[in-house]
Amino acid sequence: MITLAVIGLGHWGPNYVRNFMSIAGVSVKYVCDRDAAKTAKIAALYPSVLGTSDITEILQDAGVNAVVVATPASTHFDIIQKCLSAKKHVLAEKPLTLKASESETLISISKKQQVLLMVGHTFLFNSAVRRIKEYTESGELGDIYYLNATRTHLGLIREDVNAVWDLAPHDVSVFNYLLGAMPLSVSAAGACFLKPGREDAAFINLKYPKNIIANIHVSWADSNKERTIRIVGSKARVVFNDLDNLERVKLYQKGIALTIHEQADDFGSFQLVQRDGDIISPRITLNEPLKDQCIHFTDCIKNRTEPLTGGINGYEVVKVMEAVDRSIHNNGEVIEIN
């Protein structure tokens, strides 16, 4: 039996409670939040769950072997460090921390204490993203040229991080997953329209190995809510629209590539070859990514296996986000990622 506590009952915390309560072999013993009204609300829904405002109570309970940290990002390092040090497996909301060095410290503690550290990069458990991963691995898209992601809406505006840290980790984690690599460099531009000192809109450019480029647009100030990812390759283009429940993924079997002309007399003669084909909307089984992520966390604890979105995965995303921050604050300077 996995006995679990959920720390933080803001936007995501109650959803974690709901999902873990539905998983066989898991018992949610505590919910924790500084707001007593939030813990009381969960306790009313689930009478077997204890509410507390004191993290120490959870840390000192030897019966609790796993913790979900769904608190504001600025608090992650301190809380996760305490949980890992108390030998609790941890599933933390993204981003893992706000500094790559802090993520490294947490990875080190988790290894020393021999407990699991996992990050909530939920989109990697999305069935549509999994299907796109199949396309990239099978060669269906050909050589990948570039990727583009748009993640915009009016609010929810965070008080402790900017729109870049709030939204872009989703797409960075997806790009890294699909390409099986980290970007080599980033450059970004951001602006503060709603509140001084906190970027609420940004355009991020990333350069990956094999000359693949990517762009991410994030905004808290756009009246058009959009959640799309586009990947363009030499053979095909694929579009993921997370807000379209009917046709979440579309594969356009159209592409263009530069090839050697078969009838050329010399090696230097090339031609552009266009491919035209069908537009396919594959059947995607709709899933709740958060639930699949929770199941994965419990399976990894039981089997002592490394999570898909383990500490290193979280660290890599934070490292990219740090470089994005630095580029924004240096007027779009290209930042190399070592």
Choose between 126 and 257: higher pLDDT: 126
Q: Are residues 175 and 69 in the same domain?
A: no
Q: Are residues 170 and 47 in the same domain?
A: no
- What's the pLDDT tens digit per position in 251-272? 998 777 766 555 545 554 556 6
CB-CB contact of 26 with 4 (8 Å):
yes
Does any domain span residue 72? yes
Q: How many domains does the chain have?
A: 2
Res 175 pLDDT > 60 = yes
Q: Are residues 178 and 61 in the same domain?
A: no
| Averaged pLDDT for residues 138-164 | 92
Q: Are residues 92 and 161 in the same domain?
A: no
Which residue range is the domain that position 67 belongs to?
2-121+290-309
Q: Are residues 148 and 109 in the same domain?
A: no
Q: Are residues 108 and 151 in the same domain?
A: no
Q: 221 - beta bridge partners? A: 154
pLDDT (0 to 100) of residue 260: 58
CATH number of the domain residue 224 falls in: 3.30.360.10
Tokens of 298: 């419990």
Sheet with 50-52: strands ordered across = 50-52, 26-32, 2-7, 66-69, 89-93, 117-120
| Averaged pLDDT for residues 29-44 | 94
pLDDT (0 to 100) of residue 264: 45
Q: What DSSP line would sit under 134-162, residue for residue?
A: HHHHHTTT-SEEEEEEEEEEE-PPPSSS-
For residues 82 and 56, give the distance between their C-alpha atoms in angstroms, rounded to a whole number. 9
Q: Are residues 39 and 171 in the same domain?
A: no
Res 276 pLDDT > 80 = no
Does any domain span residue 280? yes
Closest CA to 152 of 193, 113, 106: 193
Q: Are residues 267 and 174 in the same domain?
A: yes
Q: Are residues 212 and 325 in the same domain?
A: yes
Does any domain span residue 243? yes
Q: Indicate the SS3 state at residue 225.
A: strand
- What's the pLDDT tens digit per position in 59-105? 999 999 999 999 999 999 999 999 999 999 999 999 999 999 999 99
pLDDT (0 to 100) of residue 275: 66
Q: Are residues 172 and 266 in the same domain?
A: yes
Does any domain span residue 314? no
- To the nearest whole percent, how much of the chain has pLDDT over 90? 84
Q: Are residues 67 and 108 in the same domain?
A: yes
- What's the pLDDT tens digit per position in 305-322? 999 999 999 999 999 999
pLDDT (0 to 100) of residue 285: 86
Q: Which residue has the tokens 């690599």?
A: 181
pLDDT (0 to 100) of residue 155: 74
Q: What DSSP line would sit under 36-92, residue for residue?
A: HHHHHHHHHH-TTSEEES-HHHHHT-TT--EEEE-S-GGGHHHHHHHHHHTT-EEEE
Q: Are residues 17 and 139 in the same domain?
A: no
For residue 143, what pLDDT band results from cuts at 50, 70 and 90? very high
